[in-house]
């Protein structure tokens, strides 16, 4: 994203389930935050002085035509459901890796991934050779994000980002920070539209403004999207080359290390276990192999030869015992796409499940 975390999205879904229109998406089984509900007399920003003043400033800061920017913002509409979706839920549901995993590592998504891989095998290989990012990781991300393009969102991105810029809910605990974030995203979005000569009213995405098959936020589009086929345009909606190349470039930018595993199995020596110390850094790789073991973590085989830092990754399973793995710097790199260890494990397991189904990988 580039992006908001899956956990935040899942929590927001629980809060808004009673008011949201039904649609299957990458984030839920039956209710969707990516489907724009029917609006009656949605408020336009054309008459909002704050929106027009923002447009004037944005145009000057980005060397864009002020009249063009104002005309685009004037076409934006307030979506009343979005401020509700962005708020933290009143009650947080218990995390459950087994349930979360089942939503993504399932036959239909795996088969769609196989078809995507086979259809774009040459592009995936080219991206791997160019950026050093494995094909299974690219396939896993696109599958988790949008079911290979089946669920890219149904909100007008202009409306979503304008709503979160001009009508961000002040009761949010980080309202000032988050509103500033979305203001910058709206500016980036309009800059993209101007550069690519795209009508900004035509692009649809998530309730938070994430776009295309990889669900890039506008800032991620600006910083990491690439014209992978050399046609002088970047299209993350309809051009598989740009989608594949951009996802690979994103991970290269976040220090993906070619050939390094993402994680290793781990168990515990209960007599030696210092769980507080192991959990203190959260998912940030911090411990050498020796330090990891000295705190009661038990690893074997290739993990003992790992030269970089490790982190103890905890995945809660509701009322059942948690699952644990030893995460590497590559596991951490995946969480830079979406700041969730549950998301990272889903991407890894989906991508590798698809890879096992490919008859002959180059």
Catalytic machinery residues: 145
Q: Is the dihedral of CA 300, 301, 303, 305 positive or negative?
A: positive
Neighbouring-strand partners of residue 310: 287
Question: Distance between terminal CA atoms of the chain?
Answer: 29
Q: Is the dihedral of CA 83, 345, 118, 127 positive or negative?
A: positive
Of residues 341, 330, 345, the one with CA closest to residue 134: 330
Q: Are strands 155-156 and 267-268 parallel, antiparallel or unpaired?
A: unpaired
Q: What's the DSSP call for residue 304?
A: G
268 SS3 class: strand
Mention every residue, 6+ apart, whose C-beta is less than 8 A from residue 322: 97, 314, 315, 316
Q: What's the DSSP call for residue 287?
A: B
Q: What is the rounded CA–CA span in Å between residue 229 and residue 135?
A: 17
Distant-in-sequence contacts of 304-310, Cβ < 8 A, 24+ apart: 306/261, 306/264, 308/257, 308/260, 309/285, 310/264, 310/285, 310/286
Element (H, E) at 326: strand 320-327
Distant-in-sequence contacts of 270-277, Cβ < 8 A, 24+ apart: 270/296, 271/296, 272/296
334 vs 15, 63, 109, 137, 226, CA distance in Å? 27, 34, 20, 9, 19
143 vs 34, 103, 109, 180, 214, CA distance in Å? 16, 11, 7, 30, 9
Element (H, E) at 298: strand 297-298
- Alpha-carbon Rg of the chain, whole angstroms? 21
158 SS3 class: helix
């Amino acid at each position: 994203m580039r992006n908001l975390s899956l956990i935040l999205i899942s929590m927001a879904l629980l809060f808004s389930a009673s008011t949201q229109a039904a649609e299957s998406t990458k984030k839920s089984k039956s209710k969707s935050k990516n489907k724009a509900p029917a609006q009656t007399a949605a408020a336009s920003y054309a008459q909002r002085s704050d929106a027009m003043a923002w447009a004037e400033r944005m145009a000057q800061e980005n060397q864009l035509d002020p009249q063009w920017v104002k005309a685009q913002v004037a076409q934006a509409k307030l979506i009343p459901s979005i401020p509700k979706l962005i708020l933290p839920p009143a009650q947080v549901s218990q995390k459950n890796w087994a349930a979360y995993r089942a939503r993504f590592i399932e036959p239909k998504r795996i088969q769609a991934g196989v078809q995507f891989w086979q259809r774009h095998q040459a592009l995936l290989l080219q991206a791997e050779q160019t950026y050093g990012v494995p094909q299974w990781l690219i396939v896993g991300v696109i599958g988790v994000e949008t079911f290979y393009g089946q669920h890219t969102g149904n909100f007008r991105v202009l409306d979503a980002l304008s709503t979160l810029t001009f009508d961000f809910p002040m009761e949010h605990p980080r309202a000032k920070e988050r509103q500033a974030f979305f203001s910058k995203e709206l500016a980036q979005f309009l800059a993209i539209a101007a550069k690519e000569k795209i009508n900004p009213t035509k692009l649809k995405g998530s309730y938070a403004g994430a776009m295309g098959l990889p669900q890039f936020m506008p800032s991620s589009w600006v910083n990491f999207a690439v014209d992978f086929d050399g046609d002088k345009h970047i299209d993350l909606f309809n051009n598989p080359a740009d989608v594949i190349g951009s996802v690979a470039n994103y991970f290269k930018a976040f220090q993906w290390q070619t050939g390094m595993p993402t994680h290793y199995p781990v168990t515990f020596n209960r007599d030696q276990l210092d769980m507080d110390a192991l959990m203190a850094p959260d998912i940030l790789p911090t411990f050498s192999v020796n330090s990891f073991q000295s705190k009661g973590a038990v690893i074997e085989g290739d993990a003992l030869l790992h030269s970089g830092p490790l982190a103890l990754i905890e995945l809660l399973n509701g009322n059942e015992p948690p699952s644990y793995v030893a995460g590497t710097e590559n596991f951490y790199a995946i969480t830079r796409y979406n700041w969730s260890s549950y998301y990272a494990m889903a991407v890894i397991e989906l991508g590798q499940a698809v890879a096992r189904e490919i008859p002959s990988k180059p």
